[in-house]
Amino acid sequence: MRLDILTILPKLLEGPFNDSILQRAQEKELCEIHVHDIRSFSTDKHRKVDDYSFGGSAGMVMTIQPILDCVKSLQKERNYDEVIYMTPDGEQLKQNKANHLSLKKNLIIICGHYKGIDHRLRENIITMELSIGDYVLSGGELAAAVLTDSIIRLLPGVLNDETSALTDSFQDNLLAPPVYTRPADYNGWKVPEVLRSGDFKKIQEWQENQALERTKQLRPDLLEGED
């Protein structure tokens, strides 16, 4: 999988992509992440990437030219499955969307700033608009990092234990069951006996029951859409 991320703040993405799981995924050549500085595509002599909003509302708007030129130069090289725009008014990112996107080959992700990008880009080149939640960030970079992480960790070979993404919260519209590690008794705080029984069937039943109970208690909305 190849991800091309367009931003005016490329440095903001260095941290998340150059550490831990995302770094290892790139080193193992399971994915390529390319960050592009939108400013370097600006034909303006001052490398401007924004301008005043028509109609006079407050805040600057990101201009069409540098973003369109950057997207077009990428699309000349290869076909992209989606051109995604990170925006608080997009569809809210959920696990099923991350699953769906993890099966794609090439994705472009555009990070907005100020009041956002010129709406004509949204009408003409953006194929998917995603939000990571009902709150407003200073820019789309952190949202793009969240989206990227949620996708890349699902690629085969990225996680050491192949099954661990399958047992994540949300994979069956259920929260994950509680987990414990050694010591089995920490000054009287004990691990549930069943987990130490060695009875795999019983353990699985307990975990399924805990997942269901925790979901009912903490996130009943996840169960509402069930068949």
> 201 is written with which tokens?
């069937």
Asked if 101 interacts with ligand ADE (CB under 6 A), we say no
Q: Is the CB of 63 or the CB of 215 nearer to ligand ADE?
A: 63
Nearest residue to the partner ligand ADE, using Cβ? 143
Residues 142-171 that bind ligand ADE (CB under 6 A): 143
Q: Which of 14, 30, 10 is CA-nearest to residue 158?
A: 30
Q: Is the CB of 134 or the CB of 193 nearer to ligand ADE?
A: 134
Asked if 137 interacts with ligand ADE (CB under 6 A), we say yes
Asked if 140 interacts with ligand ADE (CB under 6 A), we say yes
Q: Is the CB of 133 or the CB of 183 nearer to ligand ADE?
A: 133
Asked if 88 interacts with ligand ADE (CB under 6 A), we say yes
Asked if 192 interacts with ligand ADE (CB under 6 A), we say no
Q: Is the CB of 58 or the CB of 136 nearer to ligand ADE?
A: 136
- For residue 45, CA distances in Å to 40, 49, 73 come to 11, 11, 20
Asked if 179 interacts with ligand ADE (CB under 6 A), we say no
Among the listed ranges 17-25, 27-35, 85-93, 97-105, the one in contact with ligand ADE (CB under 6 A) is 85-93
CA distance 111 to 22: 19
Among the listed ranges 29-37, 46-54, 127-135, 214-222, the one in contact with ligand ADE (CB under 6 A) is 127-135
Which of 59, 133, 157, 178 lies at the binding interface for ligand ADE (CB under 6 A)? 133
CA distance 63 to 161: 44
CB of 88 to ligand ADE, least distance (A): 4
Q: What is the DSSP string of 151-180?
A: HHTTSTTTSSSTTTTTTSTTTTSSPPPP--
Residues binding ligand ADE: number (CB under 6 A): 12
Which of 54, 135, 189, 200 lies at the binding interface for ligand ADE (CB under 6 A)? 135
CA distance 153 to 163: 12
Which of 132, 158, 159, 165 lies at the binding interface for ligand ADE (CB under 6 A)? 132
Per 3-state DSSP, what percentage of the chain is helix, strand, and coil (rounded to 5)? 40, 20, 40
CA distance 17 to 22: 5
Burial class (CB in 10 A: 0-12, 13-18, 19+), 128: middle
What is the DSSP secondary structure assignment for residue 218, as one 8-state letter?
H
Interface residues toward ligand ADE, by CB under 6 A: 86-88, 112, 131-133, 135-137, 140, 143
